[in-house]
Amino acid sequence: MARIIGGVASTHVPSIGKAIAENKQNDPYWRPFFRGFDYVHDWLAREKPNIAVVFYNDHGLNFFLDKLPTFAVGAADQYRNEDEGWGIPVSRAIAGHPALSWHIINGLVADEFDVTMCQDMLIDHAVTIPMALMWPGAAAAKASPAKPWPVRIVPVEINTVQHPLPSLARCLKLGRSVGRAIESYPENLRVMIVGTGGLSHQLDGKRAGFINKEFDRFCLDHVVGEPEVLTRYSIHDWVEQSGAQGVEFLNWMAMRGALTGQVSELHRNYHIPISNTAAATVVYENRKEAERKAA
């Protein structure tokens, strides 16, 4: 059976791609952020996931305001990136796992999430930046075919762009449904869950540059053990507390929902700012009841 080993959540700011392309990981501005991935690399090397289910928001590459699904699931053999205009290298394509995607889609629809199904789907910086941070060797533009991505992905897109947005409670439930589907998949897979974006940030308008350290800490402290506390906030409350783009936390809520066992925080790095964003990186462990008893 497929097993959910844990989750990683990460900011997806595009300028990270530029820093990687220019080898700036050790510059004073970037170092505190990139060092936050040392633990992630160790964890990935130890846990060896072969699938990443990635909750993210598209920023206009695959979907635009003319047609924007609230929830969309990729069911493609392969996911390509294209130039989004950020001045960063186009990422290498990432292989999918269509059979697992369809299993997840079936589970979601059975649970009354009427998702958009995408057999062709471009992935934007919200997928490619966290992938490049987690697997820098595989992400490198000149990587040989001998160094493929170590995981195949199932991208799950959540609308955080065009209001009305889904609620925090809805995204937590979406994640739970995805988690149940993964655990009922018969292939022996080691699945990690990824949530991208956040934390507090606002890119435009009167509050451009807005960051709320206290609220970010509150989110990080509660999302692990009591995510329900966060569902008391409406989307409008969230925009007020976390900025117009802080709503990307919906991806974190879905990631947390998909961790179906006993969840604990293994790692947290929080750094202000990266571009306009309060950057956060976390690793969560997901342990089954039976494993806890045996330990």
Identify how many contiguous H helices and E strands the chain contains and give both numbers: 11, 10
* Least distance in angstroms from the C-beta of 59 to Fe ion: 6
* Least distance in angstroms from the C-beta of 252 to Fe ion: 12
Q: State the chain's maximal CA–CA distance in angstroms.
A: 54
DSSP string, 116-147: EEESS-B--HHHHHHHHHH-HHHHSTT--TTS
Residue nearest to Fe ion according to CB distances in the complex: 197
From candidates 179, 197, 246, 261, binder to ligand DHB by CB under 6 A: 197
Residue closer to ligand DHB, measured from CB, 86 or 102: 86
Catalytic residues: 125, 201
What residues numbered 57-76 form the site for ligand DHB, per CB under 6 A? 59
Q: What angle do CA 202, 8, 187 make, to 5 degrees?
A: 135
Q: Does 245 bind ligand DHB (CB under 6 A)?
A: yes
Please answer whether residues 191 and 2 qualify as being in contact, where contact means their C-beta atoms are separated by less than 8 angstroms: yes
**Which DSSP letter does residue 34 get?**
H
Cα 246 off chain centre by: 14
Residue nearest to ligand DHB according to CB distances in the complex: 275
Residue closer to ligand DHB, measured from CB, 4 or 211: 211
Span from 6-14, 25-33, 99-107, 186-194 in contact with ligand DHB (CB under 6 A): 6-14
Cα gap 37→288, rounded to integer Å: 25
Would you give the binding string for Fe ion spanning residues 181-210, x where CB under 5 A is met? ----------------x-------------
Residue closer to ligand DHB, measured from CB, 169 or 272: 272
Span from 7-15, 131-139, 147-155, 262-270 in contact with ligand DHB (CB under 6 A): 7-15
Cα gap 186→172, rounded to integer Å: 24
Please answer whether residues 92 and 137 qualify as being in contact, where contact means their C-beta atoms are separated by less than 8 angstroms: no
Which residues would be at the binding site for Fe ion (CB under 5 A)?
197
Q: Interface with ligand DHB by CB under 6 A: which residues? A: 12-15, 59, 197, 201, 203, 245, 248, 275-277
